Amino acid sequence: MKFLFFCALFLASVGIACLAAVVRIGSYVDAEGVLHEPFALMELGAMSLALGVAVGMVCAGTAVWRRFRAS
């Protein structure tokens, strides 16, 4: 159970760090009209954050289920 919690925490923190890096790096259009943006960081950040939230919900649901089942 603790392993799932730490995995969720790690994934969420990686997602937030990637999205913060996207904001920090920013995007720009060069002189030739080509857009440069950190697209890989956007995808990785969104996926990691979504996966971290999903794993956290599973972890919380399992903890609640065990508590009600024990009563």
Spell out the SS3 assignment of 5-51: HHHHHHHHHHHHHHHHHHHHHCCEECCCCCEECCHHHHHHHHHHHHH
pLDDT per residue over 16-26, tens digit each?
999 999 999 99
pTM for this predicted structure? 0.83
pLDDT per residue over 14-70, tens digit each?
999 999 999 999 999 999 999 999 999 999 999 999 999 999 999 999 999 999 988
